[in-house]
Amino acid sequence: MVRVGVVGASGYAGAELLRLCHSHPDLEVAWATGDTQAGTLVGALYPSLAAAYPGLEFATFDPAMATGVDLVFLALPHGASQRLMPGLLEAGVKVVDLGADFRLRDPAVYARWYGEPHVAPDLLGRFAYGLPELNRDRIASVDAVASAGCYPTAAALALAPLTTAGAIETAGIIVDAASGVSGAGRALKHGTHFGTANEDFLAYGLLDHRHTPEMEQSVGATVLFTPHLAPMTRGILATCYARPAAGTSPSTEWLLDILAGAYAGEPFVVVSPTSPSTKATWGSNAAHLTARYDERTGWVVVLAALDNLVKGASGQAVQCANILLGLDETSGLSSIGVYP
């Protein structure tokens, strides 16, 4: 068995990691930290995990804990993992970081969008960007992965094959995406209280959402991104608009063929003529895609749906860990959603 530790396990992404690791045939959770919940049984905070971890308590993180495991998952707010990373990498442990700290290649871009300088820019080159369908070979060649963000995963899976194929223009792309409230994390916030989010639909992060540069880096294009908060627990639906590239003869069938060819054999991407839904992906590591070309307006429309806590976070992190460890990439993960 591969021994793993989870830093930040008391958050939603951390809890999802614990769920997925328990069902994984090759991973064993050695410890789980959650500084604000230290001393609390995992099953007391998350009763859904009580049967899986009857005696496990959240611990306070100590860098020495890394010496007892083969791989560490970090599920921390932005800015936190870069301060822990030098010690983890010096300990020789493999790392999968679910946060944003090591996703952007340019530390100046990080400083611009996150409002603070990167404190470990010398480590950026050691990380692979963790979106396996687009970066599998690089992930397999390193010991540290910056798992892709939830919104950027949906946008990149939808658009990257089309930019790579030269099918769409790389300027003026629009991404409108809606996420469930779990994407905001477990911390109490007015905007995610039931009384606020229920029966509401809200656009936020107008023009300056921090996932924008990650999308642009992944897609290879300039993107105008507008996120929305939907009154649901899980899920992301991204609707992406682009102009067909000059000299092409676009059609819906052509777009679907490009996507199907790009993801042929991929276990966690479904390309279909059917419009995707978030509920179809609930609890799974799958992303569902479709595309249309509108002859009337001349726009390409590409849609992607996924579970923000699985393919958008913890499932993708496990997928990356499988590659890092030389395991079957699908181990511990399902492509089938829970329905209804």
Active site residues: 150
DSSP 84-120: HHHHHHHTT-EEEE-SSTTT-S-HHHHHHHHSS--S-
- How far is the C-alpha of 76 from the C-alpha of 201, rounded, in Å? 27
- The one-character DSSP state at 269 is E
Contact 82, 74 (CB under 8 A): no
Q: Which residue matches tokens 């932005």? A: 78
Sign of CA dihedral 50, 54, 58, 61: negative
Q: Find all residues with CB under 8 Å of 337, minimum gap 6, and list them.
A: 279, 280, 281, 282, 283, 284, 286, 307
- How far is the C-alpha of 293 from the C-alpha of 257, rounded, in Å? 12
- How far is the C-alpha of 238 from the C-alpha of 228, rounded, in Å? 10
| Beta-ladder partners of 2 | 27
Q: CA 195 → CA 137, 178, 190, distances in Å?
A: 45, 19, 9
188: number of Cβ within 10 Å: 7
Query: Residue 12 corresponds to which tokens in the numbers above?
Result: 């939603």
DSSP 54-84: TT-B-B---GGGGGG-SEEEE---TTTHHHH
Order of strands, sheet of 127-130, starting from the edge strand that comes earlier in the sequence: 27-33, 2-7, 71-74, 94-97, 144-147, 127-130
Q: Find all residues with CB under 8 Å of 64, minimum gap 6, and list them.
A: none
